[in-house]
Amino acid sequence: MNTAGKRTTIYLDPALHRALKLKAIETSRSVSALINDAVREALLEDAEDAEAFEERVHEDLISYDDMIKKLKQDGRL
């Protein structure tokens, strides 16, 4: 166990906990390492999403209805 890490308590669904324990055994990793990686990946995805929004901040807005009409016109719906 990484003693340099910050300790916290989380409550997991029992089935999810069981699946994590099995994956930990199969991958020779700890449940903590699996959770840390999953949280890190989720945060990176959020950062990528925020960056994509920043890149598109000056684009014209389009309503949902207009977008649906455009998709239908383009044959994508």
C-beta separation of 30 from 1 below 8 A: yes
How far is 24 from 21, CA to CA, in rounded Å? 5
- Please say whether the dihedral angle defined by the alpha carbons of residues 45, 50, 56 and 61, taken in this order, is positive or negative: positive
| Average pLDDT of span 1-9 | 79
The tens digit of pLDDT for each residue in 12-69 reads 999 999 999 999 999 999 999 999 999 999 999 999 989 888 888 888 899 999 999 9
Judged on CB neighbours under 10 Å (0-12, 13-18, 19+), 28 is exposed
pLDDT at 3 over 80: no
What pLDDT does residue 1 have?
Answer: 52
What pLDDT does residue 56 have?
Answer: 86
Q: How confident is residue 5, by pLDDT bands cut at 50, 70 and 90?
A: confident
Q: Give the predicted TM-score (pTM) of the model.
A: 0.64
